[in-house]
Amino acid sequence: TYKKMQTQVVVIGSGPAGYSSAFRCADLGLSTVLVERYENLGGVCLNVGCIPSKSLLHISKVVKDAKSLSDTGVQFLEPIVNLEKVREWKNKIINNLNIGIKSMAEKRNIKIIVGTAKFLSVNSIFVEGNKESVILDFENIVLAVGSSPKRLSYVPSNDPRVWDSTSALSISNIPEKLLVIGSGIIGLEMATFYSSFGAKVDVLDNSMYLLPHLDRDIVDSFYKIASKSFNIFLNSEISKIESNKVGFLVSKIVNQNIKEVKLYNAILVSVGRVPNLDSLEIEKVGLNVNSHGFLEVDDQLRTGIPNIYAIGDITGQPMLAHKGIHQGRIAAEIISGKNHYFNPYAIPCILYTDPEVAWIGITEQEAIKKDIKYESAVFPWNALGKAISSNCSNGMTKLIFDSNTKKIIGGSVIGSNAGELLGEIGLAIEMGCDAEDIELTIHAHPTLYESIGLSAQIFQGTVTDLI
Ligand code: FAD
C-alpha cells in the first residue's frame, strides 16, 4: 500500500546540497518535501565525511601540537587514547548536528520522507519507505543523491580489515600497520589521523605526482613535512594481496621497478567516489550521465529536462560540500523564479592534514597551461612573527596575479590554519581585487593572514619588513 502526495518541490537526498536547497525553497515560499533513504539527515558530509573526519583530525592536531611543545620547555606525557570515548565524542557531535538539521527542516514546514526514491515520470516519484511508501507528484525536483566510495576489484571486499572512508571513520581499532591506497584528499587526511594515533602508515598511489592539481612548490613542501609522519609511495601499484590471520601480505611494485612484500593489519581504499545514481532509475525520464557517470547541468543547475535539477557530488568535481550548498541555494532561487547563476570565479579546496593545505583559483602550472601571463609572490612563514611565535613557521603563502591586470587569480597556503586564511584570498578573487587592494588593506600584526598582505607587497615591490 502507498500514500499519494503532491508538492511544488521535492529534493532527493539530505546531504549539504539537498538540505540547503530544501531550506532555501521553503524560505522562498515553495511547498517542499525532502526525501532521504536514511533516518539521519545530513548525508555523507555530516555522518561519514567532513564532520567526523574533522573531529578526528582536530584530536590528532592537538596531540601533535602538544608533542611539538617539548621544544618550548613544556612537556606532556604520552597521550592515553580511549577509542570508545573518542567514538562517543565524535558521535555526539554528529547527533547534535543531525538534530539541528531536522529541527531547521521542521521549523520551515518541510515534510521529510524516509525512503528510497525512484522516478515514475518527470512529475512523479515512488518513495519506498520502511514503514510506508509514497507516490509523490511534484512540479520541480532537485536531485542531490551524492556519492559513495569507489571499490577496487583486486582488494577483498568482505573482510572487515578492508576499509573505505566510512569504516575508517568508525575507528574500530588503530592497526599497527595501515596501507592507504590512494593519495587524494581523503587518503591523506586519514593517513594523518591514523599515524598520529600510532599506526605506521604507507600511502600508495599509481599517479606520478602527488596532488597533481595543486601548486608544485606547495606540494613539495607538503611532501617533505608529511613524509615525517607516514610514507608516500607514488608511481606504484599492487600486484597481489593475500589475506592471513594477522592481516594482508601485499606485493607492491614501488616506483614501477622495486618489488616489495609487506604485511599490513588493515587496508584503506580511498581511490575516489562514484555517484549514487543507480536507485533513481533516471533512464525512465530520459536523463543521461556523462562519460564519468555524473549528471551534466547548465549554469542554472538544470539537467536536460527543464523541471529536473541536479546539485552536489552527482554533478562531478569538485566533490565538496560547499560547492553543493551553493548550488542548492541557486537551484532553489531559480525554481522560485529568480534569475540566478552558479558561476563562481573559484571554489576553495582544503586538505585538513598537518600542515593544512588550502588552495583556490588558478595555480602557476594551470596559468602556464592556459597561456595566462602571470606573476607569483611567495611569503615564507619563517619570516612571519605570528608563525614563529606559534611554532608553525614551516608554512608558506603564495599568490598568483595576472601580469596585465594585476588582479589576483589564485592562491595557495600551506601551514597551520591554511583553510581559514584562504577566506581572504577567495573574497579577493571573487571581488576582482588587484595587488594594490590587498596591499592597502591593513592586516593585523602579528597574524598568519598578514602573510597575504606581505605577499601582495612582495608582488608590488614594496615590502618593508619580514617579521
Ligand atoms: P551526500 O552528502 O552524499 O548526500 C546524498 C544523500 O542522498 C545521502 O544521505 C543518501 O543517503 C541520499 N540518497 C541517495 N540516493 C537516494 C535515493 N534514491 N533516495 C533517497 N535518498 C537517497 N567536503 C568538504 O567540502 N570538506 C571536507 O572537509 C570534506 N571531507 C570529507 C571527508 C570524507 C571522509 C568524505 C567521504 C567526504 C568529504 N567531503 C568533504 C565531501 C563531502 O562529504 C561531499 O562533497 C558532500 O557530502 C556531498 O554532498 P551531497 O549533498 O551532494 O551528497
Alpha carbon nearest to ligand 1 atom 16, residue? 145
Q: What is the tens place of the pLDDT at every residue in 374-414?
A: 999 999 999 999 999 999 999 999 999 999 999 999 999 99
Q: Name the pLDDT band for 157 (thresholds 50, 70, 90).
A: confident
Q: Which three cell numbers stand for residue 56?
A: 578526528
3-state helix, strand, coil split of the chain in percent (to 5) is 35, 25, 40
Q: Tell me, what's the pLDDT at 467?
A: 55
Cα–Cα distance, 414 to 396 (Å, whole number): 5
Q: What is the tens place of the pLDDT at every residue in 292-342?
A: 999 999 999 999 999 999 999 999 999 999 999 999 999 999 999 999 999
Residue 319 counted as an annotated binding residue: yes
Query: At 240, which helix (H) or strand (E)?
Result: strand 237-243
Mean pLDDT value across residues 196-221: 96
Burial class (CB in 10 A: 0-12, 13-18, 19+), 281: middle
Query: At 360, which helix (H) or strand (E)?
Result: strand 357-361
> Across-strand partners of 243?
248
Q: Name the pLDDT band for 130 (thresholds 50, 70, 90).
A: confident
Cα–Cα distance, 385 to 123 (Å, whole number): 60
Q: Is the pTM of this model over 0.90?
A: yes
- φ, ψ dihedrals at 248, nearest 5°: -135, 135
Q: Is the CB of 17 under 6 A from ligand 1?
A: yes
Q: What is the tens place of the pLDDT at every residue in 9-51?
A: 999 999 999 999 999 999 999 999 999 999 999 999 999 999 9
| Nearest atom of ligand 1 to the alpha carbon of 311 | 52
Q: Name the pLDDT band for 466 (thresholds 50, 70, 90).
A: low
Query: 229: closest CA among 38, 44, 64, 440?
Result: 64
Q: Percent of the chain, pLDDT > 70?
A: 99
> Across-strand partners of 295?
289
Q: Name the pLDDT band for 132 (thresholds 50, 70, 90).
A: confident
How many angstroms does the Cα of residue 362 sit away from the middle of ligand 1? 26
Q: Name the pLDDT band for 1 (thresholds 50, 70, 90).
A: confident
For a mutational test of ligand 1's pocket, the pick from 24, 45, 127, 319, i.e. the residue with the most ligand atoms closer than 8 A to its C-beta, is 45
Instruction: Tell me the ipTM for this assembly.
Output: 0.99
Is 292 catalytic? The answer is no
Q: Is the CB of 49 under 6 A from ligand 1?
A: yes
Query: At 243, which helix (H) or strand (E)?
Result: strand 237-243
Residue 164 counted as an annotated binding residue: no
Q: Which three cell numbers stand for residue 63?
A: 596531540
Across the chain, mean pLDDT equals: 96
Residue 287 counted as an annotated binding residue: no
